[in-house]
Amino acid sequence: MNELAIIIFAPLLAGALAWLIEVKGIRELIGVTGAALPLGFSLLLYQKTTEGINLALNIGVFNLTFALNHLNWFFIGIGTLVGFASILALVSTAKDSYEWLFALMSLTGVLGVFLANDMMTFFIFWEIMTFASFMMVLRYNRSASLKYFLLSVFGAYAMLIALGIIYAKLGTFDFGTIQQAMYQEAYASAFGAETLLSKNESALIYLLFLIAFGVKAGMFPLHVWAPDAYGETNQSYTAMFSGVLSKAGVYGFILLYVLMGTRLALEFGAFRSTTKFGYIIAFLGGLTIIVGGLLAALQEDIRKLFAYSSISQLGYILVGIGVGTALSIQAAMFHALSHALFKGLFFLIVATIVYRTGKTTFADMGGLAEKMPFTFAMAFIAILSLAGIPPLVGFASKWVLFEAVISQNLPILGGMVFFGSAIGFVYLIRFVYAVWFGQRPTDLDETKDAPLPMAIAMVILALFNVILGIAPGLVAKELNKIFGKEVIGGDLFILDLGFGKYNALAVTIYLVVGIIIAGIIYFLGAKVRKVPVTDTYQSANPVTMEYNLTIRRNFFLPLKETLAFWLRISFDRLYRTIGTWVEDLAEVMRTYIYNGNTQSYAWYLAILLLILALWGV
């Protein structure tokens, strides 16, 4: 048996077994093993990435082919690591074996997407992934799942049409062959020779792929499914849903570059120092950052906040991919890794909070830092990482991305990514304030800290956040291998782009030294006396626990008022309106065509005969 087969099918098999066995304890053991096997084997396969491994399975009419190379090993690494952490946390939060089956099935789906070596395999596993994640959401909320399903199907069939066009013209599904054919096409069209695909057809393929991958990546304006779907499901699963499944969209965009980048670049020309087709992706990515971030700040539900935040962070990745230089694509992949690490961690934290308190809105929470110190410590790392505080991994990847975008002389995109970093700060502090600090509602007094499986899962991700942050060279070295040249220079601790340098070790050392100096000043002062939260300044009035001193609702009201005009424009509403129109149209068709009148059916027949007669049959 090939190792690739184990990586891909172990989760599915384990899921099915867990579903069949349904004995508490054994079920969890099988499930976790199913996620641990791919992790172990992807580590083992690391040495073999240079020569590559292939796997072909003949299933009926299709040949499912898989191949391992540097590019997809990187994504497999992300997928198996975050997938494992998420499955481990599922031990505590899964309600029944139904969730084990579909959570593991979606892991198989996404690993299959990453390892696929032809379009048809890619599509099949894409559908498995979508279906399994749909089933996970369906368990919790019907309308959210249907919204997700509709948009996903829309995206998937856009991809299917694109596949159809490619197959009709080139007669192959194989990535390598398509890439070669497109490359030849590109130069053929540049020299004015005959091409298989016309300019309009390649534009159409590009547009269809943009929709297909954009839906999965949560690209504006196709992001509306994400807040509901990420929110309304098992939050341990969302760690994987947002951390890994959204990377399938990212991987799709990179694949678009690999397969037909040259062709599209030559066909549609350049915009400033990037390509036109890339700039469209990057600009939509920039809008995604802003829209996702602003909406995240205005949410009143902890799960929704992180769902929008996830959208916002994916915007960065799209900007990096869109700019399209070797450096910016590396930056995008680096950010894809760090996004998976910190967003996986965040959703595990949310899962813990929801699991322990049973509440999801900010209005019901507060003062949990004292009751869940361990989870708070993990949240602290995740916050520093997402907000882009050196020396954590979130900063390293954002820094490379910023420099990659700005060095290409793209000022508008530069402004957009800068705005995104501030808005990240803003919504995170809102989360910190409402959940961890301030007065604690009395019904949360009995809250316990995270259960062991979730704690382990969080520690795994937190460790990676810190280690890869201090030693970003580890990731840079891996990314350089994908491109086969040294795009990001430097060593283990230093990233060197030529026009900018980042020394993570120096930042760490000086931060520690700074904190020690500050600590010395602090400890030289007189002793501190601990006072309760109600012993506080309230315009010199006495306060008791009956007063609510913590602002839990509408924290960013001034922001909402400032943006009132823009917030009236909602794509969610637009899609709902279109949905209503389609339903109405169906209703109209039903009442007018199937009207129950025998004479009208006779008329249909007469009209049909008339048409046939005119046709000359």
Q: Which of residues 448-507 bind another protein (CB under 8 A)?
A: 494, 497, 499-503, 506-507
- The interface with another protein within residues 354-373 (CB under 8 A) comprises 367, 369-370
- 429 part of the interface to another protein, by CB under 8 A: yes
- Report helix, strand or coil for 105: helix
As beta bridge partners, residue 118 has 174
- 417 part of the interface to another protein, by CB under 8 A: yes
Q: Which of 145, 360, 407, 480 binds another protein (CB under 8 A)?
A: 407
Does the N-terminal peptide bond of residue 221 adopt cis geometry, omega within 30 degrees of 0? Answer: yes
Q: What distance in Å separates the CA atoms of residue 110 and residue 128, rounded to the nearest whole number?
A: 8
CA distances from 588 to 220, 393, 584, 591 (A): 32, 55, 6, 5
- 402 part of the interface to another protein, by CB under 8 A: yes
- 550 part of the interface to another protein, by CB under 8 A: yes
Give the nearer residue to another protein in terms of CB position, either 231 or 390: 390
| Beta carbons within 8 Å of 125's beta carbon, 6+ residues apart | 108, 109, 110, 111, 112, 113, 116
- 559 part of the interface to another protein, by CB under 8 A: yes
Please report how close the Cβ of residue 311 comes to another protein at its closest, in angstroms: 18
- 409 part of the interface to another protein, by CB under 8 A: yes
How open is the CA angle 198-199-202, to the nearest 5 degrees? 85
Site string for another protein, 106-145 (x = CB under 8 A): ----------------------------------------
- 566 part of the interface to another protein, by CB under 8 A: no
- The interface with another protein within residues 155-214 (CB under 8 A) comprises none
Radius of gyration of the chain (CA): 26
Which residue in 120, 7, 131 sits closest to 58, CA to CA?
120
- The interface with another protein within residues 317-356 (CB under 8 A) comprises none
Q: Which of 538, 577, 580, 600 binds another protein (CB under 8 A)?
A: 538
Give the nearer residue to another protein in terms of CB position, either 401 or 475: 401
Q: What distance in Å separates the CA atoms of residue 553 and residue 567, rounded to the nearest whole number?
A: 18
Alpha helices, H only, 94-198: 97-115, 119-138, 142-170, 175-190
Site string for another protein, 266-285 (x = CB under 8 A): ------x-------------
Please report how close the Cβ of residue 361 comes to another protein at its closest, in angstroms: 17
Q: What is the dihedral of CA 450, 456, 462, 466, to 10 degrees?
A: 140
- 555 part of the interface to another protein, by CB under 8 A: yes
Q: Which of 59, 61, 531, 613 binds another protein (CB under 8 A)?
A: 531
Q: What distance in Å separates the CA atoms of residue 53 and residue 50, rounded to the nearest whole number?
A: 9
> Using CB atoms within 10 A of its CB, is residue 437 exposed (0-12), middle (13-18) or buried (19+)?
middle
CB atoms inside a 10 Å sphere around CB 119: 21
Which span (238-246, 427-435, 443-451, 594-602) binds another protein, by CB under 8 A? 427-435
Give the nearer residue to another protein in terms of CB position, either 183 or 556: 556
- 529 part of the interface to another protein, by CB under 8 A: yes
How open is the CA angle 461-465-467, to the nearest 5 degrees? 110
Q: What is the dihedral of CA 386, 392, 395, 398, to 10 degrees?
A: -80
- The interface with another protein within residues 506-525 (CB under 8 A) comprises 506-507, 510-519, 521-522, 524-525
- 244 part of the interface to another protein, by CB under 8 A: no
Q: Buried b / exposed e across 348-362, counting CB within 10 Å, b at 16+?
A: bbbbbbbbbbebbeb
Which span (9-17, 319-327, 343-351, 412-420) binds another protein, by CB under 8 A? 412-420
Please report how close the Cβ of residue 228 comes to another protein at its closest, in angstroms: 26
Which residue in 436, 415, 433 sits closest to 425, CA to CA?
433
Give the nearer residue to another protein in terms of CB position, either 231 or 420: 420
Q: Which of 211, 403, 444, 475 binds another protein (CB under 8 A)?
A: 403
Q: Which of 166, 205, 410, 471 binds another protein (CB under 8 A)?
A: 410
Give the nearer residue to another protein in terms of CB position, either 155 or 469: 469
Give the nearer residue to another protein in terms of CB position, either 514 or 579: 514
- 411 part of the interface to another protein, by CB under 8 A: yes
